[in-house]
Amino acid sequence: MRIATWNVNSVNARLPTVLAWLESAQPDVACFQEIKCVDEKFPREAFESLGYNVETHGQKSYNGVALLSKFPMSDVVRGLPGDESDEQARYIEALIEAPKPVRVASIYLPNGNPIDTEKFPYKLNWFQRLHDHAKGLLAYEEPLALCGDYNCILTPEDAAKPDEWVNDALFQPQTRAAMNGLKWLGLSDAHELGKEPKGTYTFWDYQAGAWQRNNGIRIDYALLSAQAADRFRGIETHRDARDMEKPSDHVPVVVDLDLEG
């Protein structure tokens, strides 16, 4: 099974690009972040025409996540549990009803900037809620993939110029500690499993020629439970997608799992 995660940065604004990539890469499951539309405005028919079932958790103009699957989906969870007052659409989860089922979540973790505002505590609180929810999911001892834009630069190697990020919420010690705490629950980073080389980035800002100068960062992850990690067969970071017409500032990450055995 090929599971992709991609912050598309407005699905309607980049629909031809997204569809072209899907037709080329052919993932079985796609986790989208920053769809930036309400559920009713999501271009469902365009994806259904490619053979995907679609589940969304949208929000007008901001945020929004989606799951696309060539298999049926069940047990859909919209919104991260733990705070009923949180109106930001940043989490969707479903059981992918493949012959060997796998639970997949599409995650858009808060950015957290500026760090001297309420946005940074919100980010850390959201991370804690994700930690608590993931702990519960891991108790099921089933294949699980928590995929998405985590807005975390975990190590200095995950940035071309780490010194430029020392005052940014993405690279704060609290952010990195929260990410490590999530992993220490028993989740494996597919990037590490696949031994991707240093300089494998997933985001380049639109500003200051970041793409042309390869001034990138790695903030998009696929975290796998032990049952999924045992079936891990490979990972691809589709860097070329950043060179497509009207690209997102992120690129897709695709993980291959062998769910046959």
Q: List, by residue number, the catalytic residues.
A: 108, 149
Burial 79-115 (b: 16+ CB within 10 A, else e): bbeeeeebebbbbbbbbbebebbbbbbbbbbbbbbeb
Tokens 């807005």: give the residue: 151
* CA gap 204, 218 in Å, rounded: 9
* CA gap 56, 92 in Å, rounded: 7
DSSP structural state of residue 196:
P
**Residues whose CB is less than 8 angstroms from the CB of residue 26 and which lie 6 or more positions away in sequence, other chains included:** 2
